Amino acid sequence: MRRVALLLPLLAALLALPGCGDRNLILTVDLLSFLAPADRTVPYGPIPPGVTGADVDVASQEVNLLEGLGDAVDVESASLRIGVRFENQTGSATGSLRIYIAPGDSADPFGVPPLANLPVTLAPNDTTRVETEIDSSPELAAALTQSRAKIGVRISFDTTGSVAPLQGVETSEELVAIVVTKRSM
């Protein structure tokens, strides 16, 4: 497990610095930076035509960012910015990009309902960018203030309309969590 957990209790002490009250601690975490380069760019396929529900797990990462903050802060809001690029080479597909946040003691992050479910449409020799921002998600706030959480990214393809095997490269370009807290002490 990464040592982020040990550093952030120190950062929690900074909550005293704004003077409390209506001042906020705004924590911006670049989750993407914690993924290995091999997890940021993932080739998919070839997936034969006529397949439904072909899952590609892009990333499954445990992060531990807010340990120590949970007792010290009230989370006002939590949001997540997502940006993914598909450089599709052959075939076509529809599908979905799903973001999962699960408790840290889960076997994997994919056992809970997805936090985001974004439609994806891919065409041959085409680049598609999917991006969204999840605002004010209680699930995200709850997950990120636990001692541990697991984040997963899964793409599910449907190639029933394709005439050629689906193949390409997926690149995660942005995965940023923004947590706004107030001190609860």
Is residue 1 part of the contact set for other proteins (CB under 8 A)? yes
Among 48, 50, 65, 125, binds other proteins (CB under 8 A): 65
* Interacting span for other proteins (CB under 8 A) from 1-9, 40-48, 92-100, 159-167: 1-9
Is residue 54 part of the contact set for other proteins (CB under 8 A)? no
Is residue 13 part of the contact set for other proteins (CB under 8 A)? no
Query: In whole angstroms, how close is the CB of 66 to other proteins at the nearest point?
Result: 10
Report the C-alpha gap between 25 and 111 in whole angstroms: 31
Of residues 54, 46, 60, the one with CA closest to residue 169:
46
Is residue 52 part of the contact set for other proteins (CB under 8 A)? no
Report the C-alpha gap between 43 and 178 in whole angstroms: 28
H helices within the chain, ranges in order? Answer: 4-13, 37-40, 138-144
Closer residue to other proteins (CB): 10 or 107: 10
Q: Could you give the C-alpha distances from 58 to 13, 35, 40, 135, 154, in angstroms and in order?
A: 35, 10, 8, 23, 6
Is the backbone peptide bond immediately before 165 cis, with ω within 30 degrees of 0? no
Is residue 147 part of the contact set for other proteins (CB under 8 A)? no
Is residue 38 part of the contact set for other proteins (CB under 8 A)? no
Interface residue list for other proteins (CB under 8 A):
1-4, 6-8, 10-11, 14-30, 33-34, 65, 183-185
